[in-house]
Structure 1
């Protein structure tokens, strides 16, 4: 395939930066990253990339004057940028409406004006949750039932993309992915918070009984799936991305403790958060059968151990975030 120029929104964040690294390692494409560099974006996440193939533009995806010329210059837009932390959405929903809804609208209008291919990255949280004993998993036809301001605004952004495809012919695809883990994830998130606490000798903290189930996928596998959809996906269609990695939070914490040489019961319980979804589970059959995709990290423990190694080796990346993050959690008793 001929090399392309991609505009990657949110490309200095966790999942977006992993995608940028993946693209530059596996294709001849060049990339422009558009990122507001809020607390979740980090210039350091883009260090070490090939010179001349990536540039960073600092800006707001809801600013049409910034967005329009970048979309005009791109062969495709891959839209990762989002406010994404559930706890933050419960404390103040307004940034989630601005970025996830107005930002997506602004990008879609630019893609519409310039006829630019568009891929929208979303989450399985738009579907709400499943009962712990439910044999079903989320599919492309599962009804939306968001539980938080975060998941509600992501659901709204998905619906905007679908409407712009149908009403205006925008050449877009969508993907909904399960919970990601891996390098360069902000320490406010569940797995890196536990890892960095353990590095600092702090006992992990577990919401409630820890029975909430998430379907974990390594960020590298998410990246390879998005690239497959961008290259071979059917316009207007949605693909679910998952790696059959269902684990409850208690199992994840206990596995991390074992990997890091601690007793499996060496953690504390804290009060559960409001509206905490019970279980997510992705059926990625369509992605695998139609596009021939499969995850490289089929073994969750292997991927988790590699993630622990990354955080141990890259303290300079996460240390500046740690104190403020823990202070914010302490203020809420978590």
Structure 2
């Protein structure tokens, strides 16, 4: 039986992981530690809180005494570390938070783990660190996808902070023998994703008849991974991965940003123009007036340091741990779109006046 501490479990990927794990391993115990910053939402975990095997703790990964208390009190033997500042645009305008949370916060967790596990002689533990493909930098149009051997070349403060945290995790394995694993994933999408990210932002802006500003030509390419395919990969790494190893998790779904936006426009046009009830719920959307939402697309000046292409080679995970993604982008995006239509109350609560202003001033990329 595992006793898990999931950091950042009220965020997008963390909350999905909690539900995935509770459903697959009902005998295990999960404690979520989350600071509930702007992207952490405790309502993401309302269903989980009905489960007696689940507990939520409002706190910060920078609080080492709190982390140590949780590790001891709940007999934690597995840490799954999602907590991070993760939005590139925010890191460009305010990098300090990214350095503090992503680097210092990760180091605080590592110090607590060493003290409670290694210094007490406990060997049955695992520290799994969630990272990103952005640590590898950018690819040219004909370059082979990133592998675990690709040299790090981060181009944004966010990517640099994640690269530094990866190195710290690896160092604690090599120096002290902490049982660590790292996963570098491609772009996630799915339920509960905060509306500053590309896919939910496009969906919501279309429904509210807001512009869809696209950086540059919009041909920046990303490898898209449905969130529960990510969770399947993390599950395999925790259960079967070799301590000290890094595993790339990808969806084998390379799409240009502009193509994703066009696809979402088509899907929403299809749904609203064919469903009077939905059109009545979202009367401002062009699709409700039988107009394709593509009319909202605007091309704007590209952002600084914008990586042109990411692509993940998940061959090691596939060959050694028998991983395979269950969703194509076409199936995953339909699931995601349906979730946003079925959970309007969830995302509408996030759209206060200040946040609406933020959406209108920021670009998609």
Report the TM-score, using the length of structure 2 for normalisation.
0.88
How do 1:92-131 residues align onto structure 2 when only pairs under 5 Å count? Answer: 92-115=94-117, 116-131=125-140
Contact preservation (8 Å) 1:71, 1:77: no
2-side partners of 1:234 and 1:172: how far apart? 8
2-side partners of 1:245 and 1:332: how far apart? 26
CA deviation after TM superposition for structure 1 residue 175, in Å: 0.4
2-side partners of 1:87 and 1:144: how far apart? 20
Contact preservation (8 Å) 2:214, 2:363: no
1-side partners of 2:71 and 2:7: how far apart? 10
Aligned to 2:252: 244
How do 1:118-197 residues align onto structure 2 when only pairs under 5 Å count? Answer: 118-134=127-143, 136-197=144-205
1-side partners of 2:131 and 2:31: how far apart? 20
Contact preservation (8 Å) 1:36, 1:59: yes
How do 1:227-242 residues align onto structure 2 when only pairs under 5 Å count? Answer: 227-242=235-250
Contact preservation (8 Å) 1:216, 1:246: yes
| 2:351 counterpart SS class | helix
Instruction: Indicate how the Cα distance of structure 1 residues 75 and 61 shifts in structure 2: closer, same or farther if over 3 A, else same.
Output: same
CA deviation after TM superposition for structure 1 residue 216, in Å: 0.1
Deviations 1:123-158 (A, max 9, x none): 000000101232x00000000000111000000000
Aligned to 2:24: 26
72-81 or 212-221: bigger deviation: 72-81
1-side partners of 2:218 and 2:71: how far apart? 43
2-side partners of 1:246 and 1:199: how far apart? 26
Q: How many positions carry a matched residue from both structures?
A: 330
CA RMSD of aligned residues (A): 1.4
CA deviation after TM superposition for structure 1 residue 264, in Å: 6.8
| 2:294 counterpart SS class | coil
CA deviation after TM superposition for structure 1 residue 114, in Å: 2.2
**1:71 equivalenced with 2:71 (yes/no):** yes
Deviations 1:73-110 (A, max 9, x none): 21100000000011111111111111101110011111
Which of 356, 359, 363 aligns to 1:326? It is 356
Which of 328, 337, 340 aligns to 1:308? It is 337
Contact preservation (8 Å) 2:215, 2:363: no
Q: Which runs of 5+ in 2 are unaligned?
A: 118-124, 270-286
2-side partners of 1:82 and 1:140: how far apart? 21
268-277 or 168-177: bigger deviation: 268-277
| 1:260 counterpart SS class | helix
Which of 207, 211, 214 aligns to 2:222? It is 214
Contact preservation (8 Å) 2:213, 2:363: no
| 1:205 counterpart SS class | strand
Report the TM-score, using the length of structure 1 for normalisation.
0.96
